[in-house]
């Protein structure tokens, strides 16, 4: 109870000192890492029940609560015993959490009592330095308050306030459910004002979003129906390239197949999204296509894969009237020793763009105006990456990894159409070969989340005038993050990155050195 008397003092210190923390990204990454580790180690029945409850929370974005659950079931010798009370009643088969049977010592519905409040105050100091540019130092204060009314339709209301030297915004959201979580509802509204920009306040914006999801997960059957629908809009004070106002709506109906022990999952869905740009009607499009993903965890082998095919159809008053993209990702890990895993990850992407457009062609008479022809043509390209890796784990909290990846991108340039040479060749992306070598360390306990990675990369771009804006490069980068939960109510975070890269102009051996470094140090106090 003593720490409660210091909370007002801590809030004041945050506002004065402007230290930083990005707690929720650490929660999200920490939860996903720990969940995968538990599944790869073939959890027992109790762990499966807790993982199921944690997955329900994480699916709704409650990563902090999900991490509490999965860490509560594993006593880590490194972490101190804080005697965290999770306020956990037994959960019956018809409970809204969907967990079958009682789970001693674990709450599937979260950690907040009925009608209670929780939240945190976060202070941020950012440092950024780029070669030949001014050093940038900025800070922000962020406060988040969550209210759990335990109503029949309303599960949680969240308000986030942030003020900094660059922007200020307020974000209010609410989540609710009905029919024992078979219907989930969510709404979000954000208003932001930009400061200290070259174009004044042209990026001031308003964002609104509404979601509804019908699902049959509560029946705990191997196959569940999931049918989310959404609508959102974003409006800028003044549109400009890269920041256009839009309206969008869509649906993602699908089927989920999950085994009782969560070791095997398959998701089949159809994604559809309509996007309209009021100030740029020719860019409005309809995107749709199937998505399939799956995971399989065995005693010695873990597999995961995902594939999606998306078709974009544009309004007929634009030259780009259809684009098709196929992306496939897959990975396999084999436990060769109790502490060592070896595997490979692959990524493949292909893209086809169909056009109907007026094109300028080369003529022998340079005094004549440029001749144009109306033509239908296609641009295409592929990219694939292969990454073999080794991962060593020990003490259920530490891991080290080595990886080497090779990526090849090939996007042919279109020089002529129907035998006529184009004045300006067309292409949709840059062809390149990329080699990257990576090494990493990580520690994930209830008290500390630590990552350190070092990589060396060589990127080679063809010496072509069509790629004049992009050159070959090589360089090394270092990234690290330390998240320390000093006590359940106070957290410290430090993030830093540094890059030294030599950028080479196409066809030349010399280039410019581009160095940059960023750092962030922070402090967060969570309200009782």
Residue 473 CB neighbour total at 10 angstroms: 19
Q: Please, are residues 69 and 78 in contact by the beta-carbon 8 Å criterion?
A: no
Under 8 Å CB-to-CB from 172, ≥6 apart: which residues? 157, 158, 159, 160, 188, 189, 190
pLDDT at 163 over 70: yes
DSSP 119-150: EEEEEEEEEEEETTS--EEEEEEEEEEEEE--
This prediction's pTM:
0.81
Under 8 Å CB-to-CB from 338, ≥6 apart: which residues? none
Per-position b or e across 434-453, b if 16+ CB within 10 A of its CB? bebebebebbbbbbbbbbeb
CA dist 57 and 62 (Å) reads 5
Q: Which contacts of 302-310 are long-range, i.e. CB under 8 A and separated by 24 or more positions?
A: 302/39, 302/40, 302/332, 302/333, 302/343, 303/330, 303/331, 303/332, 304/330, 304/331, 305/329, 305/330, 305/331, 306/330, 308/271, 310/271
The closest alpha carbon to 301, from 49, 74, 55, 39, belongs to 39
In the prediction, which pLDDT does 292 show?
Answer: 98
In the prediction, which pLDDT does 93 show?
Answer: 34
Q: What is the pLDDT of residues 192-206, one digit of tens each?
A: 998 766 665 567 899
Tell me the three state secondary structure of residue 2. Answer: helix
Confidence band of 106 (pLDDT split at 50, 70, 90)? very low
Q: Please, are residues 457 and 420 in contact by the beta-carbon 8 Å criterion?
A: no
Across 395-447, the runs of DSSP E, i.e. the strands, are 398-410, 414-417, 420-426, 432-444
Token pair 């066809």 in the structure block, residue: 507
Rg of the chain taking only CA atoms, in angstroms: 26
Confidence band of 77 (pLDDT split at 50, 70, 90)? very low
At 492, which helix (H) or strand (E)? strand 490-504
In the prediction, which pLDDT does 424 show?
Answer: 84
pLDDT at 104 over 80: no
Q: What is the pLDDT of residues 330-369, one digit of tens each?
A: 999 999 999 999 999 999 999 999 988 888 887 766 656 6
Range 164-190 average pLDDT: 93
Q: Please, are residues 228 and 212 in contact by the beta-carbon 8 Å criterion?
A: yes
Q: Is 222 exposed, middle or buried (0-12, 13-18, 19+ CB in 10 A)?
A: exposed
- Tell me the two tokens of residue 56: 């329900």
Residue 512 sits at the vertex; the CA angle it makes with 511 and 513, to the nearest 5 degrees, is 125
In the prediction, which pLDDT does 96 show?
Answer: 40
Per the rule left: phi > 0, alpha: psi between -120 and 50, beta: everything else, 467 is alpha
Q: Please, are residues 106 and 89 in contact by the beta-carbon 8 Å criterion?
A: no
CA dist 25 and 38 (Å) reads 20
Tell me the three state secondary structure of residue 227. Answer: strand
């Amino acid at each position: 109870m003593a720490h409660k008397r210091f909370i007002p003092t801590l809030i004041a210190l945050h506002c004065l000192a402007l230290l930083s923390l990005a707690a929720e990204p650490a929660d999200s990454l920490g939860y996903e890492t720990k969940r995968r580790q538990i599944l790869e180690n073939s959890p027992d029945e109790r762990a499966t029940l807790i993982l199921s409850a944690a997955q329900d929370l994480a699916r709704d974005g409650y990563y902090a609560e999900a991490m509490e659950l999965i860490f509560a079931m594993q006593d880590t010798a490194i972490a101190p015993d804080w005697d965290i009370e999770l306020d956990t009643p037994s959960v019956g088969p018809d409970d809204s959490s969907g967990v079958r049977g009682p789970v001693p010592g674990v709450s599937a519905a979260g950690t907040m009592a009925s009608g209670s409040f929780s939240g945190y105050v976060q202070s941020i100091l950012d440092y950024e330095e780029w070669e030949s540019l001014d050093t940038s130092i900025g800070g922000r204060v962020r406060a988040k308050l969550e209210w759990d009314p335990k109503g029949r339709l309303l599960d949680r209301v969240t308000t986030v306030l942030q003020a900094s030297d660059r922007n200020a915004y307020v974000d209010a959201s609410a989540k609710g459910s009905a029919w024992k979580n078979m219907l989930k509802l969510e709404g979000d509204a954000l208003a932001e004002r930009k400061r200290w920009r070259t174009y004044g306040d042209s990026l001031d914006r308003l964002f609104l979003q509404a979601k509804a999801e019908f699902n049959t997960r509560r029946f705990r059957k191997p196959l569940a129906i999931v049918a989310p629908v959404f609508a959102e809009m974003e409006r800028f004070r003044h549109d400009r390239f890269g920041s256009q106002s839009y309206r969008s709506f869509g649906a993602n109906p699908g089927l989920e197949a999950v085994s009782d022990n969560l070791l095997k999952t398959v998701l089949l869905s159809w994604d559809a999204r309509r996007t309209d740009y009021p100030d740029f009607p020719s860019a409005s499009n309809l995107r749709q296509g199937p998505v399939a993903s799956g995971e399989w965890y065995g005693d010695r082998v873990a597999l995961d894969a995902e594939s999606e095919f998306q078709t974009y159809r544009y309004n007929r008053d634009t030259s780009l009237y259809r684009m098709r993209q196929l992306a496939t990702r897959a990975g396999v890990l084999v436990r060769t020793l109790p502490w060592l895993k070896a595997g490979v990850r692959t990524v493949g992407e292909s893209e086809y763009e169909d056009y109907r457009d007026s094109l300028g062609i080369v003529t022998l008479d340079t005094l004549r105006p440029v001749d144009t022809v109306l033509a239908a043509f296609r641009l295409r390209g592929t990219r694939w990456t292969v990454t073999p890796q080794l991962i060593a784990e020990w003490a259920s909290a530490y891991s080290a990894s080595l990886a080497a990846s090779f990526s090849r991108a090939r996007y042919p340039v279109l020089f002529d159409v129907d035998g006529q040479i184009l004045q300006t060749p067309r292409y949709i992306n840059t062809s390149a070969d990329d080699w990257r070598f990576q090494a990493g360390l990580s520690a994930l306990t209830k008290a500390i989340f630590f990552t350190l990675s070092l990589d060396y990369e060589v990127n080679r771009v063809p010496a072509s005038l069509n790629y004049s804006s992009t050159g070959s490069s090589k360089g090394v980068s270092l990234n690290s993050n330390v998240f320390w939960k000093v006590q359940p109510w106070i957290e410290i975070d430090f993030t830093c990155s540094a890059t030294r890269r030599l950028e080479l102009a196409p066809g030349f051996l010399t280039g410019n050195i581009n160095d940059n470094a960023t750092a962030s140090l922070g402090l967060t106090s969570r309200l009782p």
